[in-house]
A = this chain, B = another copy of it.
């Protein structure tokens, strides 16, 4: 069955609906977006995430004969319905060969430099999808809890969508982060960590906003987001000359990018374009590493203590089930690296002329562990963002009381955005 979903200003998508990642794989309609995860049945106390199901039989594989240029709308059939007006040259990021001096191996190793995106991180691939969905859902605005790349990217796409944007931040944030949010016209609202997610929910429920993540206590992520990350797999495959790498190494927070990359490679197999998948390796800070814990304990997800780490962008205390699924699909391992080895990797990349944020450098720091697993073929490290995203100078902002009324007052006073209108 061929089914093409469209909306105003739409590109043609072969998306069929939201599919639960629970074993029953229930298919739900594309809208409303299940931002609280797959509906719970019976005794279960946590929600499964979802992804998007596609009509693969209807895909014209000549789609993959094009050059891997920027602009994700070129992959529209395999993405959720996009608002092409939101696209501003996401993706098409270069695959940079690293020197053997940097990698200490004769195997070819590449860095996929996601700092070349519109807001200089991989998150733009996700937010093209999530903010398109916000537009399609008729949301009054966009809200996200973030202290970094995700919030910046959400703010930029909300601006393109002409939607107000509220970003719930920690009270101590980097000046660059703050400057970027303001440049895109978003309103940062500092609230205490424990209150950030409840406030996202309050703003969604009371102001009609759409989140670019999720509303579940356990992380499920936005159902539409990881589809954007799939294009990383498409590009790597084409950039290597229609070759599947031996391994892809992914700095991992909630595992959304990892899941998206795994899904992209699996689709290449499904479509008959690639013979098999690469091995996938997640890399987390050794001070935390909830996905590593989940894999060790054979649980769908895990929580860990908030150990100290400077790998801010991947410093999660809860893992996402998507990460587990991705590692299963990619015959992968959940690796961890300490801050010292990541700092050393950052310096090594600097000597290659590449300045990545510290979290990004976790992939290179994990390379000895990846090589020890005895694989062949080229290795691709995912570089998520530029070094300028790490806090060079911090600013301490007074926190806002965690009530919708106080948050709405703060937003109104600081940005003119009226959450009650």
Contact = CB atoms under 8 A, between A and B. Distances in A.
Nearest to A350: B183
A318 interface: no
Contact of A68 (B69, B116, B352): B69
Interface in A18-68: 67-68
B120 A120 contact: yes
A355 B393 contact: no
B94 A353 contact: no
Given A352-B160, A353-B88, A346 B67 contact: no
A206 B385 CA distance: 39
B89 A184 contact: no
Interface of A is mostly: loop
- Copy number of this protein in the oligomer? 2
A355 B69 contact: no
A98 to B, nearest CB: 10
Interface string A123-151: 00000000000000000000000000000
A92 interface: yes
A179 B388 contact: yes
A119 B351 CA distance: 13
Contacts of A99: 85
A355 B119 contact: yes
A93 B117 CA distance: 10
Interface of A: 67-71, 85, 88-89, 92-96, 99, 113, 115-120, 156-157, 159-160, 162, 175-176, 179-180, 183-185, 346-347, 350-355, 386-388, 392-393
23 contacts: A67-B67, A88-B352, A89-B95, A89-B116, A116-B116, A118-B353, A119-B355, A120-B386, A156-B353, A156-B354, A157-B353, A159-B353, A162-B351, A175-B393, A179-B387, A180-B387, A180-B388, A183-B346, A183-B347, A183-B355, A183-B387, A184-B350, A185-B350
Given A120-B388, A162-B351, A180-B388, 6 more contacts: A68-B69, A69-B92, A70-B116, A89-B95, A89-B113, A184-B351
